[in-house]
Structure 1
Amino acid sequence: MSNKHTLKLLRKYGAEGTNGTITFEGEHICHTIELPDRNNIKRISCIPIGQYKLEKIRYQRHGEQIGIPHVLNREGILIHAANNAKDELLGCIAPVISLTGEGQGTESGKALAKLKALVYCLWDMGDEVYLSIR
């Protein structure tokens, strides 16, 4: 039987963007940046709070990504690299090493690599991984 693991994303909302922190079993993994909360409107809002099952999604252009498939009224939501939510995100979540402003951060590629290593390790054991956003 597969185990369930939950990554916790604690958010702080701002007018210019949503910042957060992902922890796993109490340990800090990375910070996150997202678009501001605009009632889950496609392409301009972060996704609603809740618990989401993460799934591996393969794209021709971007290769394998961590997907968040079951978001109400949304599709194609991913966790991918970006350092500026307004310029680079359409509702997805971007991991960053440090936060530099609302919806802005640094070294996203590095943070994504760290997060992917953890999630893929759990998947490779045949386990399920969830993201709890609050």
Structure 2
Amino acid sequence: MMNETKVSCVPEGKYFIRKRYSAKYKWHLELVNVANRKFILFHPANNAQKELQGCIAPVTKLSGPGLGLMSRKAFTKLKNFVYKALDNKESVKILIQSLK
């Protein structure tokens, strides 16, 4: 189940992050140029099973498998950091790799 829309993890690799706006999430972040996928967003969520459909939610602390605490706080910190870099004309990438 690699790289299935609204289901699985993003394949390992380096990806650019950009600003994005939607009525639902307001200003947030988007992972771009993932093969066969679109709208992989970074947004707050504390329960991956219930709140995510292929997106990424930063959390302040893990509290169990697929569960985390204070996601909104972690997301705001990440968003501010990335937006500052993008506003300074820097590119921002994320490296996704599995733990071995």
Instruction: With the length of structure 2 as denominator, give the TM-score of the two structures.
Output: 0.91
| Per-residue deviation, 1:69 | 2.0
1:74 aligns with 2:42: no
Unmatched runs of 5 consecutive residues or more in structure 1 = 1-37
Q: 2:57 aligns with which of 83, 94, 102?
A: 94
Alignment of 1:1-134 (within 5 A): 38-134=1-97
Instruction: With the length of structure 1 as denominator, give the TM-score of the two structures.
Output: 0.69
Higher RCO (CA 8 Å, separation ≥ 6 residues): 1
Identical pairs, percent: 41
User: 1:41 & 1:126 partners in 2: Cα distance?
Assistant: 32
| Per-residue deviation, 1:50 | 0.6
Q: Which of 78-87 and 61-70 deviates more?
A: 61-70
Structure 2 counterpart of 1:19: none
| Per-residue deviation, 1:85 | 0.6
Report runs of 4+ in structure 1 exceeding 2 Å deviation: none
User: 2:93 & 2:58 partners in 1: Cα distance?
Assistant: 16
User: 2:50 & 2:58 partners in 1: Cα distance?
Assistant: 15
User: 2:12 & 2:65 partners in 1: Cα distance?
Assistant: 18
| Structure with more of its chain in strand, by fraction | 1
User: 2:24 & 2:62 partners in 1: Cα distance?
Assistant: 28
| Per-residue deviation, 1:60 | 2.7
User: 1:72 & 1:101 partners in 2: Cα distance?
Assistant: 30
User: 1:95 & 1:130 partners in 2: Cα distance?
Assistant: 15
User: 1:60 & 1:66 partners in 2: Cα distance?
Assistant: 13
Unmatched runs of 5 consecutive residues or more in structure 2 = none
